[in-house]
Structure 1
Amino acid sequence: MKEKTDEEGAALVITFKVCVVFHLLGPVGLDLDLDLDLDLDLDLSTVVRRVDPRFLSVTIDASLASQERFMLLLRSQRIRTLTKALSPAFLRFGGTRQDFMVFSPQSSQQPDSTSGYPRELRPGRPPVELSWWLEQKLKEDWIQHQLLSVCFSELTVDELNSFSSCSGLDLIFGLNALLRNTDNSWNSSNARSLLQYCESKQYKMSWELGNEPNSYEKKAGIRVDGYQLGLDFSHLRKILSESKLYRDAGLYGPDVGQPHSHRVDLLKSGQSSALCSDSHSCYYVNGRDTSLDDFLDPEVLDTLAVKTNEVLEKVEQESPGKAVWLGETSSAYGGGALGLSDTFVSGFMWLDKLGLGARLGLEVVMRQVLLGSGSYHLIDDNLDPLPDYWLSLLYKKLVGPEVLNVSDSGRNKRVRLYLHCANRKSYARGAVVLLWMNLGRKLARISLPDLIANSTVDTFVLQSDQLGEEGLESRSVQLNGVLLKMVDDKTLPDLSGARLPAAGHVKLPAYSLGFFVFLEARASACS
């Protein structure tokens, strides 16, 4: 995660002047231009971080399985098309309901003809394509659904495996850690039953034990410290080692929520050699009392660095070199902020988290959620992609795992920049991609140095379908002025950038974000 690539010869450091010219969005003829000069340094010779190719990953909340008929939504061709486009990625099945879920083989919850669902949609049967009428019924029921049940059967496991396999995602299944013995150790009997079933079906998957153990006392009146969690992870690793299929399977945790002060001590469980990485959850704000201004506030965005550095320091003390993940994250906790977490303005928090998280040294960032649960989803209740989905898709297409250094002095905090090698599946070696966002209501113009100025540029500018502050709460997004929407259930729109000839500058429209790919940057770090 902290790997640096040493290139032969002296490091090539490129320094250029950035001129940001702001124009107030006011009446025609109002001349209120403001010039701001910034010095920007780029090092194109050294990889300062290298993230996992599955860096941007997604979650499905365990609440989807609280009534198992909703798991059938994963058979939707539309959902599978959208999800496959995000591969490679991890798919984490977990969340708050995870620690209340009990595997109950052949439970009475499975769909049958008496509940309005066909008999062929049963555990163990080959997956069939979801009919339009059943998809519509499931969507309507899901919107009105209240979480009541905690049992799941083979159907949940079958559907998750089929979905992840067809979509090309690596499944991580979250196990219930609140099943406890009288001595407060983890009771593994239910997990053993689930593992035996999964092994009998030859399902390849990884595992997680528990979700946000810092909240166990509040949720269930049970207190578990870091030492006990470490013993629990070792116990699960021993069980996995007894399986031919899962002896080398991934095991992740402890997924501590908002770790700070005394809760950081729970990360001590991550020192267990049983774990492949140390994971935690992180949100910026409380979804119940946040505001539009919070989503555009640089100081709110900067809190990610404070929280992440605290976790990185703790993990390095306890287990040097261990990878650190954001195992669950989005804009606002408590299910998100309705009208904000599911709209265009959420993209500023999301892209900044991806850029800053990679630069700080996080190896994987898992977005809560792909669909269902709360208002921070990527796909809405009608199975249509939201603005953060399109942003995620562009990130996957354009951004490579190698993080490059970009820094400046006196930078305006409302213009935020990150630099990576471009994705080699989309661009030739040596190309770089600048991730950027303009949080302000003023146009920004960046002047480029000769080396970059002589490069062809693919531009990807994301804006709301309504310009100005009014559009920040829109659930639609435009790429280079064209509204993004699916062509049909099997077809995504063309996401080609606007290719511009070499020029001396690039422009960042007000309230916009996106990517500039410099095709002929000839970055040695990307070669």
Structure 2
Amino acid sequence: MKGYQKALTLASTALMMTSLQGCAGMPHSRGSDVAQVEAGNLPLVREIDERFQSFQVGFSHLTGGETWKSYDELPAGAAEKDGFAAIREKRLPTDLANPRLRTLTKALAPLYVRYGGTTANSVYFHDSDAPPPAKPPKGFTVLLTRDAWKGAIDFAKAVDAKILTSFTNSDGVRDASHAWTPKMAAPWLAYTRSVGGEIYAAELFNEPNAPEPPRIPKGHSPEEFARDFATFRAFMAKAAPDVKIVGPGTAKLGVSGVASLESVTSEMYASATPKPKFDIISYHFYPALAERCAPATSPFGIGSDKALTEEWLARPSKELQQQKALRDRFAPGAPIWLTETGGAACGGLRWQPTFLDTFRYVDTMSRTAKEGLDAMFTHALVSGSNGFIDEKTFEPNASYWAGLLWRRLMGTRVLDAGPEQPGLHLYAHCQRGTPGGVTILALNLGESSKTLQVGSPADVYALTSPELQSNTVLLNGKALALTANDELPAIAPARLEGRQATLAPTSVNFITLPKAGNPNCR
């Protein structure tokens, strides 16, 4: 995205520090480049889960299997020419004991980790310490060993994560009438208990409306879902009564025209007979298809030139409103979890690891937290082009740093900072760990600086980058990177002694006001 002004490289030039008097009232605009907010008066909207910011670790990281081919190795038009197999490649299991990976993940805790994804639908759990067979039995596609699952449990414990998982649903666990049985789920749960593990929540399986051969060749109709879900719920009530039951977990896109995802809706699954009972309503949402599956210029794709547009950033809202209506009808009062999301389906955007995608990431979290979501699971914690952390180097990708600041600064109480303004999105939460304090998240999406007036002295954490499609992230002008010992760098703010801050062009700004005195934050 050439043409954007270079990010400011020194904190003294990134922020203007002047004094204002009498800043009062609700958030409002004072011109296209000036906004004002009185943090002490912001009303409370709602409270979110402490583990709102959560992540998926795909089952292929535990078992090995298929993953999305990197863009560097992907010939143009591969999917159109050679089909689905042309955009996939083999993956080895991931070392979840890696110290760098654990350090980076622990810094985001507490969180939920979802062990799921398409691979989870056809897992064969090898419930033995003997060597596993050379290949999975008929009806399964991958092998999960005891050691691999224990590694997943140990990882969750080490990083203060509660586990959400789905269970095998392929032909290998179905009886003569093709009904689901707990053939894999039963020994899986028993082994989990035997090693001191705990599953907090469970889904029947991954995306019943999104068929992918050979795991669910024809998808899963609402009638089949309801029948199997009743069996699943009865089994879990006896085998693991404390586990939350999550569903229906359907896949949705932010663009229309993909018939396989639109012909069967979440409502059809929730209203089928016998009526499923959900403790938590879940869904998957991707705002577009990645270039592996659709050209960026197609109606289903998205180009980097649209990454900061209002239309693109608003796409998650429409689906969340539909899920809220579904929840209110079929599971009143239940939490709503977005259990899989990212920049685009089909393995992520080409530019997802760069600073450019940070705006979508924090804007999606902020707007959905305000609008009614209780937890958001990003796909993926560690992966290739769609990973929060790079799976080859275990280095943080650009969005990681905004996620770290979110965890440290944004509390569970969401405040109303007013509606989004074109080019300037303002969100606010009670400041984490500071009674009465407020954190404002200000996203300057434009190419020119903007001024934000606040009601009390503040600390500013301004994230910028020398190039939007770069992995380099600057905090108040200084590049963020792990130390030589793989420790996180010092995360220090710039002190705003006055009450006016200049937001650099295309910047993500966390502004904490510890003396705001907001009564909703005490």
Please state how far the C-alpha of 1:239 moved relative to its aligned partner.
2.2
Q: Are the structure 2 counterparts of residues 462 and 104 from structure 1 closer, same or farther at C-alpha, using a change threshold of 3 Å? A: same
Secondary structure of the residue aligned to 2:103 is helix
1:7-41 deviation line (CA, Å, top 9, x unaligned):
xxxxxx93355335xxxxxxxxxxxxxx5566768
Query: Across the two proteins, how many residue pairs are aligned to each other?
Result: 446
Distance 1:215 1:457, change over 3 A: same
What is the aligned partner in structure 1 of residue 85 from structure 2?
Answer: none
Aligned residue number for residue 458 of structure 2: 457
Structure 1 pair 229–269 and aligned structure 2 pair: CA distance change class (3 A): farther
Residue 279 of structure 1: aligned partner: 282
> How far off is 1:405 after superposition?
1.2
Given residue 146 of structure 2, which amino acid in structure 1 is its aligned partner? Answer: E
- Residues 84, 370 of structure 1: alpha-carbon distance in 2 compared, 3 angstrom cutoff: same
Residue aligning to 1:334: 346
- Which of these residues, 228, 244, 248, is aligned with residue 250 of structure 1? 244
Q: How does 1:71-110 map to 2 (within 5 A)?
A: 71=93, 73-106=95-128
Distance 2:33 2:158 in 1: 50
Give 1:368's aligned amino acid.
Answer: H
Q: Any idea what SS the aligned residue of 2:29 has? A: strand
Q: 1:407 to 1:446 in 2, by over 3 A?
A: same
Deviation digits for residues 349-382 of structure 1 (CA, Å, limit 9, x no counterpart): 100001101011000000111112x411011121
CA deviations over 1:431-477 (Å, ceiling 9, x no partner):
111112111111111234xxx1xx2211011111x1xxxx1110121
Helix, strand or coil at the partner of 1:347:
helix
Unaligned runs of 5+ in 1: 1-12, 21-34, 113-147
Question: Aligned residues: percent identity?
Answer: 26
222, 231, 235: which one aligns with 1:226: 222
- Contact 1:286/1:334, CA 8 A, preserved across alignment: yes
The whole-number CA distance in structure 1 between the counterparts of 2:48 and 2:398 is: 24
Deviations 1:123-168 (A, max 9, x none): xxxxxxxxxxxxxxxxxxxxxxxxx951111122110011111111
Distance 2:404 2:26 in 1: 31
Among 154, 161, 174, the alignment partner of 1:169 is: 161
Distance of 1:517 and 1:422 partners within structure 2:
7
Question: Do 1:257 and 1:281's aligned partners in 2 also have CA atoms closer than 8 Å?
Answer: yes
Say if 2:43 and 2:520, in contact at 8 Å, map to a contact too: yes
Change (3 A) 1:108 1:253: farther
Task: Indicate whether 1:156 and 2:133 are aligned.
Answer: no
**Contact 2:208/2:250 (<8 A) preserved:** yes
- Of residues 166, 184, 190 in structure 2, which corresponds to 1:190? 184
Comparing 164-173 with 191-200, greater Cα deviation is found at 191-200
| Higher RCO structure, 1 or 2 (CA under 8 Å, sep 6+) | 2
Specify the SS of the correspondent of 1:391.
helix
Whole-angstrom distance in 1 between the partners of 2:490 and 2:35: 35
Aligned match of 2:430: 421
CA gap 1:16/1:254 in 2 versus in 1, 3 angstroms: closer
CA-atom RMSD, angstroms?
2.7
Letter in structure 1 aligned against 2:270: K
Residue 108 (structure 1) shift: 8.2
Question: Cα–Cα, structure 1 residues 109 and 446, in superposed 2: closer, same or farther, change >3 Å?
Answer: farther
Counterpart of 1:212 in structure 2 is: 207
TM-score relative to the length of structure 2: 0.79
1:51 equivalent in structure 2:
48
List per-residue Cα deviations over 1:228-256 (Å, max 9, x = no partner).
4244333223223323xx32122222211
Aligned residue for 1:522, secondary structure, equals coil
Kept in 2, the 8 Å contact 1:254–1:269? The answer is: no
> Deviation per CA, 1:284-335, whole angstroms, max 9, x where unpaired?
1211122112221111111111111112112212222221110001111110
Contact 1:400 1:420 in 2 (8 A): yes
Check if 1:398 corresponds to 2:417. no
Tell me the equivalent position of 1:238: 234
Match of 2:428, SS? strand
Is the 8 Å Cα contact of residues 101 and 150 (structure 1) preserved in structure 2?
Answer: yes
Are the structure 2 counterparts of residues 438 and 234 from structure 1 closer, same or farther at C-alpha, using a change threshold of 3 Å? same
Distance 1:111 1:294 in 2: 49
> How far apart in 2 are the matches of 1:431 and 1:70?
46
Aligned residue among 433, 436, 443 for 1:437: 443
Corresponding residue for 1:136? none
Indicate the SS of the match to 1:293: helix
Residues in 2 aligned to 1:36 and 1:476: alpha-carbon distance in whole angstroms: 26
TM-score (norm 1): 0.79
Q: Do the aligned partners of residues 93 and 365 (structure 1) sit closer, same or farther apart at CA in structure 2, a change above 3 Å counting?
A: same
Aligned counterparts of 1:153 and 1:397: Cα–Cα separation in 2? 36
Report the AA paired with residue 401 of structure 1. Answer: T
Tell me the SS of whatever aligns to 1:173.
strand
**2: distance between equivalents of 1:388 and 1:458?**
21
Q: Structure 1 residues 72 and 354 mapped into 2: Cα distance closer, same or farther (>3 Å)?
A: closer
Distance 1:247 1:413, change over 3 A: same
> Could you tell me how far apart the structure 1 residues matched to 2:490 and 2:39 are?
31
User: In the alignment, residue 265 of structure 1 is paired with which amino acid?
Assistant: E
Write the mapping of 1:22-37 to structure 2, written as runs, cut at 5 A.
36=33
Which has the higher mean CA deviation after the structures are superposed, 86-95 or 290-299? 290-299
User: Does the CA-based 8 Å contact 1:71-1:159 persist in structure 2?
Assistant: no
Matched residues in 2 for 1:215 and 1:194: separation?
Answer: 25
Which amino acid is the alignment partner of residue 510 of structure 2?
F
CA distance in 2, matches of 1:350, 1:169: 20
Indicate which of 331, 345, 359 corresponds to 2:356.
345
